[in-house]
Structure formats: structure tokens, C-alpha cells
């Protein structure tokens, strides 16, 4: 292979990698599938939407929730979670509290090889989410 061709192919490969940067979409709803090491209770519906205004919100399975968040590259942090105060079945309330606790521990995000959003705490397994509607 000629050196000029090899350099051109290498440069094209690097340019292709740079243009494929993965970004976290704001104002898009994501549906939670797993909280750390456990799947969600059947038919429960937890969501996360990251507003472009720095506010996150969604459904915690029983109550609507909201929090501030900061996004810096692959780092993400949520402020203190607030929510409505509706009562639900004890199992749903326990799951919702685990969700809120995990949100408070999230430090970074990425996408898995199957295009699933993962929100990672400092230690332990991530929260796994799908783009809502998929």
C-alpha cells in the first residue's frame, strides 16, 4: 500500500470516529428497565426526561418526580429529588424509593452496545433505560 493512501485511510478513519460522538439527548423521555441489580416490577412505569433547561423529571412508578441535573460530557449529577406524595402499593413505594436513591448516586452515563442508556453510580450496577417509545 502506498504511504499517501495509508495516511489518507487513517485520516478518514479518525474523522469518522470523531463524527460519531455519542451524545445524551435532552428533552427525550427514557423508560427505566433495571434499577442496579433488579428489574422493575411488572407493569410499573418509571421514566426520566432531561430537560434542556437543567431540570429532570418523570414518573417514579407511583409519583411524578423532579430534580435539577448537571451534564458535563459523560458526567451527570442529579440534585435532590422532589416528588408528589401519592401512596401506592408497598412494593411500588419501595421500588420508587430505590429509584430516587439511585438517581442521587449517579455520576456518569453511557450507552451500551445495544443502545441502552446506562446511568452509573460511583459503585455498583447502573440504572438501565430505553428511549421511550422503543
* Residue 22 confidence (pLDDT): 65
Full-model pTM: 0.81
| CATH label of the domain that carries residue 100 | 2.40.128.270
Residue 44 belongs to a domain: yes
Residue 65 belongs to a domain: yes
Residue 16 belongs to a domain: no
Residue 7 belongs to a domain: no
Where does 36-123 have alpha helices with state H?
90-105
Q: Please give the residue range of the domain that contains residue 62.
A: 25-131
Residue 8 belongs to a domain: no
Count how many domains the chain has. Answer: 1
* Residue 26 confidence (pLDDT): 87
Residue 60 belongs to a domain: yes
* Residue 23 confidence (pLDDT): 80
Residue spans of the chain under pLDDT 50: 5-20
Amino acid at each position: 500500500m502506498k504511504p499517501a493512501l495509508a495516511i489518507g485511510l487513517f485520516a478518514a478513519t479518525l474523522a469518522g470516529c470523531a463524527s460519531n460522538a455519542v451524545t445524551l439527548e435532552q428533552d427525550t423521555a427514557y423508560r427505566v428497565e433495571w434499577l442496579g441489580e433488579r428489574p422493575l416490577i411488572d407493569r410499573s412505569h418509571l421514566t426520566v426526561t432531561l430537560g434542556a433547561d437543567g431540570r429532570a423529571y418523570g414518573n417514579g412508578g407511583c409519583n411524578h418526580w423532579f430534580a435539577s441535573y448537571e451534564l458535563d460530557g459523560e458526567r451527570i449529577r442529579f440534585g435532590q429529588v422532589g416528588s408528589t406524595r401519592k401512596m401506592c402499593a408497598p412494593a411500588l413505594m419501595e421500588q420508587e424509593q430505590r429509584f430516587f436513591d439511585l438517581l442521587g448516586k449517579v455520576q456518569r452515563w453511557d450507552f451500551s452496545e445495544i443502545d441502552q442508556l446506562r446511568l452509573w453510580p460511583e459503585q455498583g450496577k447502573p440504572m438501565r433505560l430505553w428511549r421511550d417509545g422503543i
